Structure 1
Amino acid sequence: MDARNTSLTVKHEGSSEDQASDFSIDFDWLLGVAKRQWKIVAATVVVFVALGIAYVLTAVPLYQATTNILIDRANTVVVEQLSKFGENVDDDASVLSQVELLKSSAITMGTVDKLKLDEDPVFMASDDGVITQLKNFVRSLLNVSTWFVSDTVTNDDKDRMRQNASDKVRNNMDVSRTGKSYVLALNFVSPSKELSARIANGIAEAYLNDKLDAKYDATRRASDWLQDRIAELKQKALESDLAVQKFRTANGLVSTGTQLVSDQQLTELNSALIASQADVASKMARFDRIQQIIKDGQMDAIVTDVLASTISNDLRSKYLTASKRADQLAAILGPDHESVVRQRNEMADYKRQMFDELGRIAESYKSDVDVAKAREKSLKDSVTQATSVSAGANETMVQLRELERSSETYKNLYQSFLQKFQEAVQQQSFPVTEARIISPAVVPTTPAYPRKTLVVALFAILGAAAGSGIGMFREYRDRFFRTAEQVRDVLGLETLGTAPLISKIGKPIDKVGPEPSEREIRKSSAVMDYVLDHPLSPFAEAMRSVKIAADMVLPSASCRIIGVVSTLPGEGKSTIAVNLSELLASQGSRTVLVDADLRNPGATRAIARHAEKGLVEAIFEQASLEECLLRSKRSNLAFLPAVMKQRLPHSAELLSSAAMRHLLNRISDHADYIIVDLPPLAPVVDARAMAGSVDAFVYVTEWGRVARRMVRQTLQAEPRIYEKCLGVVLNKVDMNRMKLYQTFGSAEYYHSSYSNYYREG
């Protein structure tokens, strides 16, 4: 006892107690839940399937008609070639926009008006089921305000009916894109198969008509706007062109077609100046050349004008003749001869005359250079003047070009808008849209809704889900002791044994033989002799386990006083106390059973209803102990009953009194075991009062009845009882249901393996 923890641990509070709070969800646990709750799940599934069948049988069948619309890009190209105001359907967003257009109120209202659906009683009839219609009928009967409403249909009522019909069309239709194509699938459901097909085709026709009307309205509005814009642009073009001409005239900007006259003159002067500069350079070079010839006295140097001069050519011829003659004479007469000298003098004279002629030619060259330079200077002055004029004209041309650009812009806009106006006029009478019906709706042959198999399957799934939820809630609410492992985890105590639920409870013992004497135990039920009648049963084995635990915990005690307690009344502690006492007595131990439950003496009622004296008389010594004890001939068990002739207001004080302790000591002198059947712990304090006189306690809890939290809190409030507690006996265990709580490795899992060791007979 001392080696065991003497305080009840609370670490499992909120975890082990409540399976839903903190527990390990494993496969074994799930299988256990399935085995325990499958009937609830199955029953819920059956109920939901029945509801599903009832819904299928009462639901109004709906027929679905489908028409397919193609957003034809080929037609779009044709339209766009004729008018830039056509819609461009080139991307996903445009196709999805057409889906929303089909769902718009413009289309649905157009369908209602065309097919007169607001006047169709079949269409306007309610689609609700029988239950909903009945509920609406009852509600209308209870609505007193509708009893006095006039039957006259007003315009507001007609508008409301049209709107209701439009809403009904929108609610019963579905438009979706077929994959990534340009095909739109339009579905419509209705209780009438013919009406479904008619409305589906009507919606498609209304969509196409709306497209045509929208295109016509767009082109008409565009042409009206273009007419006003064209008139405005025409006036702007005329005004801008007139402004260009006035500006030219005002600034003298005369042109020859491609450029201004001043620019042309400047170009010509520049060309003449360049030519003049080249001429000056050429003549200057010629003059410099002849000057160099004269300066160097080069006889062999020739210029063009010398060759053209007859004087120069004649003088050169005479010079050459004189030179030839001088050379001949010098060769004959010698270089110093008078004739040779005379010839040389003639040569010098001819040379002088030749250079004089060159000087005159040079003067003419110089005159040509001066004339060319004067012309060049004149051209430069003209160019400077023309440049100044052109620069001024160019500054003015900036404004002119701006006016010309403005004029050209207005001209282009005018031409463009005029062309678009012609296209828009043509488009008004060109009935082509970018959409067409590729498969009209046909009358369906079978209803699309409700899908009976799917609905029933869905209800079955919902039933399974609801049943699983109920089952899980039941598991969550199952806070009772079911297994020895739960006892160990929650209470920190070992399970001494599991006492099965005895099916013979309440069956009286067959009376065979003579009537027992007043000093004998008289059992009113066979369950009190169960351990004697079935010594090899699991119940008897649980009692032996209690005896072994008491012998091991109290090995040296000459007399072991064992108290049997429970949390609440009715858990079977008196049955356990009687059978435990019978087992001990049948094994030869001197055993005395004391019924200490002075408020509700269950053991006395079960085995000694005839007793006239008992525990109270023995305590107060109104009778001797031997006079109060009853015995069993079968096992030699001694029983001290509790004969309550009147209620005792101070039973706890009586049990904790010195007289009670003295009585137990007197009994201990003649007994090996004293089994005390104590009151339950929760309602009264009698067991706590007697805790000091008891060596050990056996805690009895009913399987699947008392909440684990209740048991734990009760033991927490009774630490003296807890520290002396040998363990727990799970009583009234349903062994068939116990199998549902077995997990791999637990004692319950192997129950079938050692069940052959037990015999009920």
Structure 2
Amino acid sequence: MVTACSIGLGLVYLLTTPARYTAHAMMQIDSSKLRVLQQQQVSFADTPLDTTQVETQVEVLKSEGLGLSVVKEMHLTEDAEFAGASARFWGTGNSMQGADSRQSQALDALLSQRTISRVGRTYVLDIAFTSLRPDRAAEIANGIAEAYIVDQLESKYQATRRASKWLQDRITELREQVSAVDRAVLDYKEKNKIVDIAVASAAGSASTSTRSLEEQQLTEISSQLSTARAASTEAKARLDRIQDVLKMGIPDASVVDSLRSEIVIRLRNQYLDLAAREGLLSQRYGSDHQAAINVRAQMEQIRQSVTDELRRIAESTRSDYEIATAREQSLKNKLADMVSDARITNRERIGLRELESNAQAIHTIYDNFLQRYMEAIQQQSFPITESRVISPATAPKQKSSPRTSIVLGLATVLGLALSLAIAGLREALDPVFRSTRQVQETLQVRCLAVVPLLDAPPRSRLVMPWRRNAGRDVASSAEAHAMFGRAVLDPSSVFASAFRSIKVAVDVSTAGQRSRVIGVISTLPDEGKSTIASNFAELVAHVGKNVILIDGDLRNPTISRAMAPDATNGLLEVLAGKVELQDAVRTARGLAFLPTIIESRDTHSSELLGSEALKVMIERLRETYDYIIIDLPPLGPVAEVRGTASMVDSYVQVIEWGRSRKNTVRQQLLGAPEVYERLLGVVLNKVDLKEFGRHETLDAVYGQNGYY
């Protein structure tokens, strides 16, 4: 829907936007003309233009001054496309204010419709202009190129003429200054009897310079002082750091690494090992146990050893700091003495250096001005431009905008992007499970099956007769347990296929075992785990396996109320030794069922899930049945489910689609690592298949839908 709306808006834009045409004039910036006419400047002409110079010319072409000259030359203030309604409103004989307004509006229109760009990394510039008329676009593009060439000729001639006159006057002044400063340097040397000795400035270098011994020594002492200051600062920082560490007790890993002490590292590792051991002992036997007390005593000894070692390191670092400080002070005193001596020695040279600097600066200025003057005289003789039009603009035959393919393509891409963004936002803001991918990403386990939501039982629903060993029929009506037995009664449905997938996963994970104990759990009540457990047990029994279904939900025995409402004894009585196991088990069509009867609220009944009696009973059942399926309580309100990990081979987690929250399920499973380690997979229950198709195709879960 979003994509269709986006494409529709693109079509509306194409139908309502007028066609525009773009003409291109190609201009080259080339200095080869100067190379032909100015043979005496070959060395400069051979230098190619750099990127900065080319980009500068692009900005000149974009300038308002050049655009204003095009407006005046081509009389764009009288064109309705550029002046708009103001050309008709002001007329031809209006005041100066009206002319300025039309000119400003025409200039803005011209600048907004022209594009200047460089063609790749060449010296060719593309002058493009867009107009409602193709011939007008070509005229203005060529007019911009012509205005640029004229502007370059005029600006070059005027600049050269003004520069030549100014340079001539300036060179005369500089020549007199050069002579004066040279005489001043010679007079000062003769008066103070100063003779400079030339020394090589670098090894293997041809250049020379003059330098005194005092200057060399000052440089070396200054370098040594900088090194000493750095060493003193580093020693002080280490000392401060160690003093801070002494207040910490056992330092952390980053502090230990910075100290670079193998003894502290070894003691810290021993301390951490003892701390872990003490935590295990305290958790297992209590913090007052003698073993935990002994470990804590060892930890205290190691902490004292670490403190002693850190104090030793601190004393060593303090000694290094004092030595570095003493060396720094010594170098300071030595530098001060040498500076005092050098000040006296070099006092005579101060005036000479000032005179030589002035002379050197004036010589450099004079040489530069003389060179520029000669160049200006030569350039004034050849007033030509370095730019030329290599391809004049012609009237385009096809419109440049709007481009139908581009507009529709962008509209389609934008629509798809918005659709994906909306879908992603919707999924990110939805905190519940809605697809098998979310199950795998959130819980890191596979989704065994997707069980659809059932509204009513099939019309051919048959009542499964549950009997005691004595043969008394206690079957409920079809409406009372509508959800139980559906996998057997409708074998070609998606509902039945889901349980076959669960059976395949169970068989693969427990291959080679004679008997399998499967626990069906959920995070919260009313997620449908009892329905999953009963239908799975009936389906396995239907294929000829020896199966027993145990209602292990001691607080809410849903299966027992539906399948055995008149039962007087069950799991609790067997575990208490009041009834024999064979007397409490009910059988029907190859499926055995052990109900749970709750006559009163016993707060300790849930503790039986992890009892030794239940474990012994499960081992007895393994000798008789191929599959032992237990409907366990939900993990959230009943923590005792974790006690069944020692007797259950695999758990199957039931999650209600569209209701179970991701964070809740994940936290409950992580809080029960015994269950999570034996978790075979997840069953998405009560799935609305129509809504599920928006998040994940059913073909990916069950194959082709047409079969079902």
Normalising TM by the smaller chain, what interval?
0.3 to 0.5
Give the TM-score normalised by the residue count of structure 1.
Answer: 0.45
TM-score normalised to the size of structure 2?
0.47
Q: Which has the higher contact order (CA 8 A, sep 6+)?
A: 1
Bigger CA radius of gyration? 1
